[in-house]
Structure 1
Amino acid sequence: MKISKTYLRKHRIKLTLLSIGLIWYAFCLPGQLFQEPTSTVVVSVEDKLLGAKIAKDGQWRFPENKEVPEKFKTCLVLFEDEHFYKHPGFNPVSIVKAIQQNREAGKIVRGGSTLTQQVIRLSRKNPKRTYFEKFKEIILATRLEVRASKEEILSLWANNAPFGGNVVGLEAASWRYFNRSPENLSWAESATLAILPNAPTLIYPGKNQEKLRQKRDRLLKKLLENSIIDSLTYQLSIQEEIPPKPYAIPQITPHLLQKISKKHEGQLVKSTVEYHLQNQVNQIIKQHYQQLSQNEIYNAAVLVMDVKTRRILAYVGNTPTTVAHQKDVDIIDKPRSTGSILKPFLYGAMLDNGDILQETLIPDIPTQIGTYKPENFDQEFAGAIPAKKALARSLNIPAVKMLQTFGVDKLHDYLQQMRFTTIQQPADYYGLSLILGGAESNLWDLCKNYASFASTINHYDETLGYYSNEFCEPTYIDNKAVDFGKKQREKNVMNAASMYLTFESLKEVYRPGAGQNWQYFDSSKEVAWKTGTSFGFRDAWAIGTTKDYVVGVWVGNADGEGRPGLVGVHTAAPILFDVFDKLPKSEWFTAPFNEMVDVEVCAKSGYRATDICEEKTSMSISVTGLRSEPCPYHKIVHLDQNEQFLVNTSCESPDDIVQRSWFVLPPVIEHYYQEKHPFYKKLPEFKSTCVNTREESIAFIYPKEQTKIYLPKGLNGEKNDVILKVAHSDGEATLFWYLNDTYLGKTQKFHELSIQPKAGKYTLTVIDESGRELSKRIEIKA
């Protein structure tokens, strides 16, 4: 102990300096050698490159990849540092040779640096070469050898070495010069990249090609001489061409790359996108774009989603159009007018609420509510049509009638529960136009909610229950799983039966004039799908779902310009089914029988059958449908023995009166219904000898609810007549028309009258032969 203290006192200065030196040595190397910004890189679920965004400093520098391919590693070590695995970070023999050559040349012509020293030099931004700088490199190199393994040092070199131009690192160089990943390079390609950092400003693809080839071939010869490759491989390798110029980095999902870079800039992100499917969808969009652009339709977007995992499988934010036509705009999350694409949600909500059944008759007659006048796509009227068929044919007037019955507030509440992010205004702001494109949505939200419907049905089949977070956000990040929440017995928004029955209706979707055997529909694949077209032909939609996949398509112009023919069924639907053709075939949904019940339904009206319904049929409905209204259209009537006339006891013996159930529609509905249904039987007339106790019905078709009428103008700018229409339950009735006290004329059978009065307020009166009177106050606007 005494000797030790004496020794310490005697050598305290040396020991202090030694301690300081050791501490400095321990901390001389920064914890992170490289802090330069890196490119944002997105890969597929199979780890294939989908796209990359250049780093903030303008360099193609991919995020760190710790794996260095064996071919490149072998070439690099043989070319740059043959004793790499043996030295402690520097090679004394190489340093001595470098000093001798530099003396002879009178300048620094050789550095003698090992790969470890090169890593240090790169991390210190390539300072000016001096012997003192070389000494510092050696010290830091030995420290790096202590801290990191040889493989880690090679990885640092491969990720940060310059490869010419604005290319840094092996990963970026491999894609820029050979358009493939490093692990897929040949021996010749690996050798080419191994020699580039030796003089990256002088020799790289596109510059000094012949010198580059000579250096590569010398390295290949060295590989042959060291028995690393055989003679055949050598001969084939030297025949490979040097790439003439850099390739562009692949941009297979450019719009998804934009989205990801906002939150993950400078990172390598593994997405949920399937590489092969994405390429197929890109090709489909490219083909359709070539056709659509001939009609000056330049933009389209497609989203493909896995229902069960809610993962995005393909993401096409736009067509390969030009900058002038906004090719860089990601349409998928941009709000656009919905057209008819929200109709299935109204239909499902009304089933869920017990307001309708699938076959319930919905009025389809000329309608004007205030100044709002919806029209069907074919501009025809069916009088009344089953709700299911109205949805399948995407008829506008029945949809407005349904929404008017259901209530805008209630539908708005349903949509809020489904988390439509762009429907932010109160219900009154949208009014009845909500169901025909008065609101805006985007492809993301629509696909999310169609998938939520499908997933709800699937989960109910598996658990006989629901999940609390069924209407969750999808994901495009591979390691981010969707949380469906906890299992529960209560429904979230709608019950599974209502959703299932909605999809059953959407299997039969077709457009008027196209026929039920729609030309694009592949009957071998059961798909629930819906199209939509916004006002002015600005947006065309098509969204379809199976048990496993949702595909959504939008077509239009990003600047909102409408085009003739920009209709969902003609532009978006063909893309939809081309994409479905690339997806595996799915089984159809399993019916949620625990939430369904069989009931008797009136065959003619689609309402729950009453005792007096003539024809009844059994139908599976949602249990909530038990709350729906019973059939209001069947009445008991009294007929004579031949059933030709209505009678009563004033003209017929009670013993001779025949009681029958009769299907009777309101006069306006009846007026149009009988045109489409020739077997519809109107009520017979009263027998002439009877006292008529029947209340004949008379009603305005136009004007109906509105009181203000605007005189329409023709193409020549002159005002056209207003066509007044009335329906009467007696097909043979004669009607007399008056405007104030002025007699206008009479009509028989078809009660239409043209007028062109001056602007002002009037009383319009219609009287039939029996004295029944119908009046309405109107105001004519010029």
Structure 2
Amino acid sequence: MNFKKIHKYKLAIAAILIITYYFSLPKQLFNSPTSTVIESEEGELLGARIADDGQWRFPQNDSIPKKFATCIIQFEDAYFYKHPGFNPISIVKAFYKNFKTKQIKRGGSTITQQVIRLSRKNKRRTYFEKLKELILATRLEFRYSKEKILALYTSNAPFGGNVVGLDVASWRYFGRLPNELSWAESATLAVLPNAPSLIYPGKNQQKLVLKRNYLLKKLFLNKKIDSLTYTLAIQEKLPKKPFSIPQIAPHLLQNIAKDQKGKRIKTAVKIRLQQYVNSIVKTHYNELSKNKINNIAVLILDVKTRKVLAYVGNSPTTKKHQKDVDIIHKPRSTGSILKPFLYAAMLDSGDILPNTLVVDVPTQIGSYHPENFNKKYNGAVFASVALSKSLNVPAVRMLRSFGLDRFRQYLKELKLKDIKYNANHYGLSLILGGAESNLWDLCKSYASMASTVNHYDETQGKYYKNEFIEPSYLVNFKPNFGEISTEKTIFDAGSIYLTFEALNKVNRPEGEQNWRFFNNSNKIAWKTGTSFGFRDAWAIGTTKDYTVGVWVGNADGEGRPGLVGISTAAPILFDVFNILPNSNWFEPPFDELVKIPICSKSGYRASDICEVKDSVFVQRAGLKTAPCPYHVLVHLDKNKEFQVNTSCEKQSNIVHKSWFVLPPLQEFYYQKHHPFYKKIPNFRKDCLIDNKNPMDFITPKDNEIIYFTKDFKGNKNSFILKLVHSNYSIKVFWYLNKQFIGITQNIHEIEIQPKTGEYLITTIDEQGNEINRKIKIKD
């Protein structure tokens, strides 16, 4: 009975010991904070941030270069692959030597024991602690393979100063990846964990070289390296001082660290491309900073994979000029960069055709007075030309015609997150920079539009439901474009293609104008933008394969003269495209296009009386656009000098002719740019006519507030009233508050200099046509 009880106690004690032994090792050995590390698509280091405890400690890496593995085993633990976690012979030898000298002269720890000691924060080295390490080491051998244990040691061993782990040590002391190290360099790093506080690159060089050469000789004697390798290795010089950790994409690292702190992230960034773009940005920064333009951001997306290929969040400026701010995700005034979306939306909805003639005259809508950048006007201009030349007045008038709410809905579907208010908040200035967006969202949208056309061709006329997805910086990102559908996502492929055709005709910056004359020219759909006050300059372009976005300005919002998209951002854009592979142009999405006759002068669907017709491809939705409103059938006398009708001419003598006619104000500006434009002939004086009002004001605009300036003598300058009349020779009578002030003929301009107050300007021509304008004069 006693024997059975004793036996049970022994079994219970044994069970307790086994359970204690089993659970003696923590599930996670190392809990120290680690650096955030980002790598390129090729696996090269793009950048890292120091860990929270001030140590350079990269996340666990289970890949160990063969050279270093050989060196560390030969130096630290030659029987590593044979022992169960401890080496009894080494322990006895170490105990004997330390006892004899009464000092710790030799350690008997294996690599496995050292892993345990490192995980226990290098507690005081007593014999009792050694016993604990020994027990835990055997437990570790049961849990992990030898390769895993070696990887744990390699990633957590101290290499001097605040350098922990082989990955960091390789970069800090030799400036490259561990698998690129020579035998001498691997041996140098292998001896450092043995005495990291005593031996440090740049100091104690003699001690370090002796240890390294001792290891190299051991490698040679154990036939791990040949005699030539040994001879060359011992002649290699030691590193003089630590290298800086590469910071090739610091703002991407900053962005990733927000959500992936302390992790090693492999990105889709191509390191050579990133370095080239860094160099381009630096070159342009050096020039632009002379004009106190200090910040630049560049983003490159792969259209097909939607991955980030290069990410430059800011220029290499100073801390004073906010070099650490990542501009790519910061909201900035859009300038004209949204105009292609409006053009595509109007094509998509069938409101215009690519070359529909749109109005470009001085315009006042309520208190809003938009102007073209060069303050000149064309009278009327093709919609595609208005886009390619980035004319402001046509864009505002197109937006007004299209509808603010309708356009705001398109922008909502594009998911431009910084445009977060309703349409009325922005008003018509929305199309000229009244809203804010960021480089990430804008590049995403341009890339998604390009991808829509690509996929339409690849799927023989279909769309993906999830085309407008978020890009990713992760190398293993797989875009989920959703199911295939016959329904468009946002814009139909035809409208996008025609938009890109217009954007391909944008005049390129200096040095790029002759691109069409070269066979290897790279067709690019691109657009610039400049915000009010010259605070933001944009350039975004796309091909079938790549979308590139550039922002230039000052992070603090300071405007600078010359901070214009075409002169500051566009040159960077084309420098970047010049280092990217050329792309073929987009395939026309013929299933979404239809060939129809259009009026060559107006760009509208041709009516029966249009003089010259062209047969062109337009988007299918364009079939519902109105026919040309600018061609009218006029009735002329035999000599075609005057208009006539049956009140003054026999019907048999009347000649019928199609005539391209613009409203008076449009005509006034249009004929300056089109010398072959012919004004419609006047009616013969003996004819009875019932005409529409043939005249219109150039200045002032209705309800305009006019501020009088003074000359150097303090006298008020005059204000010139101007109008245009379709009948060049007719007389016009002018009145100010019903008081007659003068008569004009041929050139209808009159000078006034009234006092402050409100006035009514009235003009009446010889035929009794009348127009009025209200103005307010202020000092």
TM-score (norm 2): 0.97
What are the within-5 Å matches in structure 2 for residues 66-105 of structure 1? 66-105=62-101
**Unaligned 5+ runs, structure 2:** none
What are the within-5 Å matches in structure 2 for residues 249-648 of structure 1? 249-463=245-459, 464-510=461-507, 517=514, 524-648=521-645
The CA deviation string for residues 583-630 of structure 1, in whole angstroms up to 9 with x for no partner, is 111111111111111111111111111111111111110010011111
Are the equivalent residues in 1 in contact too, given 2:520–2:582 (CA < 8 A)? Answer: no
Residue 764 (structure 1) aligns with: 761
Distance in structure 2 (CA, Å) of the matches to 1:481 and 1:205:
44
The CA deviation string for residues 494-532 of structure 1, in whole angstroms up to 9 with x for no partner, is 111000000001110027999975899997111111111
- Decide whether aligned partners of structure 1 residues 718 and 290 sit closer, same or farther in structure 2, where only a CA change above 3 A counts: farther
Identity %: 62
Residue 731 (structure 1) aligns with: 728
1:400 aligns to what SS in structure 2? helix
Distance in structure 2 (CA, Å) of the matches to 1:521 and 1:243:
50
The CA deviation string for residues 80-137 of structure 1, in whole angstroms up to 9 with x for no partner, is 1112222221122221222222222223232211111111111111111111111111
1:141 to partner: Cα distance = 1.2
Aligned length: 777
Distance in structure 2 (CA, Å) of the matches to 1:320 and 1:570:
20
Are the equivalent residues in 2 in contact too, given 1:475–1:481 (CA < 8 A)? Answer: no
- Decide whether aligned partners of structure 1 residues 515 and 370 sit closer, same or farther in structure 2, where only a CA change above 3 A counts: farther
**Pair 1:751-2:748 in alignment:** yes
Distance in structure 1 (CA, Å) of the matches to 2:186 and 2:513:
59
Q: Which moved more, 1:480-489 or 1:190-199?
A: 480-489
1:200 to partner: Cα distance = 0.7
Distance in structure 2 (CA, Å) of the matches to 1:69 and 1:234:
19
1:6 to partner: Cα distance = 7.3
- Decide whether aligned partners of structure 1 residues 34 and 403 sit closer, same or farther in structure 2, where only a CA change above 3 A counts: same
**Pair 1:207-2:233 in alignment:** no
1:22 to partner: Cα distance = 1.7
Are the equivalent residues in 2 in contact too, given 1:510–1:518 (CA < 8 A)? Answer: no
Alignment RMSD (CA, Å): 2.0
The CA deviation string for residues 454-489 of structure 1, in whole angstroms up to 9 with x for no partner, is 111111112211111111111111223221111111
Match of 2:12 among 13, 16, 30: 16
Distance in structure 2 (CA, Å) of the matches to 1:169 and 1:666:
78
What are the within-5 Å matches in structure 2 for residues 655-670 of structure 1? 655-670=652-667
Residue 227 (structure 2) aligns with: 231
Residue 677 (structure 2) aligns with: 680
- Decide whether aligned partners of structure 1 residues 544 and 473 sit closer, same or farther in structure 2, where only a CA change above 3 A counts: same
1:392 to partner: Cα distance = 0.9
1:90 aligns to what SS in structure 2? coil
Distance in structure 2 (CA, Å) of the matches to 1:779 and 1:281:
54
1:748 to partner: Cα distance = 2.2
Distance in structure 2 (CA, Å) of the matches to 1:750 and 1:276:
64
2:320 aligns to what SS in structure 1? helix
Are the equivalent residues in 2 in contact too, given 1:42–1:271 (CA < 8 A)? Answer: yes
1:46 aligns to what SS in structure 2? coil
Are the equivalent residues in 2 in contact too, given 1:508–1:516 (CA < 8 A)? Answer: no
Distance in structure 1 (CA, Å) of the matches to 2:211 and 2:346:
76
1:11 aligns to what SS in structure 2? helix
- Decide whether aligned partners of structure 1 residues 9 and 513 sit closer, same or farther in structure 2, where only a CA change above 3 A counts: closer
Are the equivalent residues in 2 in contact too, given 1:394–1:511 (CA < 8 A)? Answer: no
Distance in structure 2 (CA, Å) of the matches to 1:376 and 1:333:
29
Residue 775 (structure 2) aligns with: 778
Residue 136 (structure 1) aligns with: 132
Are the equivalent residues in 1 in contact too, given 2:313–2:327 (CA < 8 A)? Answer: yes
Distance in structure 2 (CA, Å) of the matches to 1:745 and 1:428:
43
1:10 to partner: Cα distance = 3.9
**Pair 1:160-2:180 in alignment:** no
1:687 to partner: Cα distance = 2.1
1:449 aligns to what SS in structure 2? helix
Distance in structure 1 (CA, Å) of the matches to 2:49 and 2:409:
41
1:23 to partner: Cα distance = 1.7
Distance in structure 1 (CA, Å) of the matches to 2:373 and 2:508:
9
1:203 to partner: Cα distance = 0.8
- Decide whether aligned partners of structure 1 residues 519 and 715 sit closer, same or farther in structure 2, where only a CA change above 3 A counts: farther
Distance in structure 2 (CA, Å) of the matches to 1:253 and 1:300:
14
**Pair 1:189-2:189 in alignment:** no
The CA deviation string for residues 694-714 of structure 1, in whole angstroms up to 9 with x for no partner, is 44512222233x414131536
- Decide whether aligned partners of structure 1 residues 518 and 673 sit closer, same or farther in structure 2, where only a CA change above 3 A counts: farther
1:247 to partner: Cα distance = 0.9
**Unaligned 5+ runs, structure 1:** none
Distance in structure 1 (CA, Å) of the matches to 2:268 and 2:556:
30
1:665 to partner: Cα distance = 0.6
- Decide whether aligned partners of structure 1 residues 635 and 249 sit closer, same or farther in structure 2, where only a CA change above 3 A counts: same
The CA deviation string for residues 68-91 of structure 1, in whole angstroms up to 9 with x for no partner, is 111111111111111222222112
The CA deviation string for residues 718-774 of structure 1, in whole angstroms up to 9 with x for no partner, is 754333221211111222211113222222222223323222222211111223221
Distance in structure 2 (CA, Å) of the matches to 1:518 and 1:734:
51
The CA deviation string for residues 342-361 of structure 1, in whole angstroms up to 9 with x for no partner, is 11111111111111111111
Are the equivalent residues in 1 in contact too, given 2:353–2:603 (CA < 8 A)? Answer: yes
Distance in structure 2 (CA, Å) of the matches to 1:720 and 1:533:
32
Distance in structure 1 (CA, Å) of the matches to 2:78 and 2:294:
57
Are the equivalent residues in 2 in contact too, given 1:636–1:659 (CA < 8 A)? Answer: yes
The CA deviation string for residues 336-382 of structure 1, in whole angstroms up to 9 with x for no partner, is 11111111111111111111111111111111222222121222111
Distance in structure 2 (CA, Å) of the matches to 1:214 and 1:675:
87
Q: Which moved more, 1:581-590 or 1:746-755?
A: 746-755
2:582 aligns to what SS in structure 1? coil
Paired letter, 2:558: E
1:576 to partner: Cα distance = 0.8
Residue 698 (structure 2) aligns with: 701
Distance in structure 2 (CA, Å) of the matches to 1:145 and 1:637:
101
Q: Which moved more, 1:706-715 or 1:385-394?
A: 706-715
Paired letter, 1:134: K
**Pair 1:58-2:54 in alignment:** yes
Match of 2:120 among 118, 124, 128: 124
Are the equivalent residues in 1 in contact too, given 2:155–2:167 (CA < 8 A)? Answer: yes
- Decide whether aligned partners of structure 1 residues 253 and 513 sit closer, same or farther in structure 2, where only a CA change above 3 A counts: closer
Distance in structure 2 (CA, Å) of the matches to 1:118 and 1:548:
51
Residue 108 (structure 2) aligns with: 112
Paired letter, 2:574: F
Residue 241 (structure 1) aligns with: 237
Distance in structure 2 (CA, Å) of the matches to 1:702 and 1:403:
23
1:323 aligns to what SS in structure 2? coil
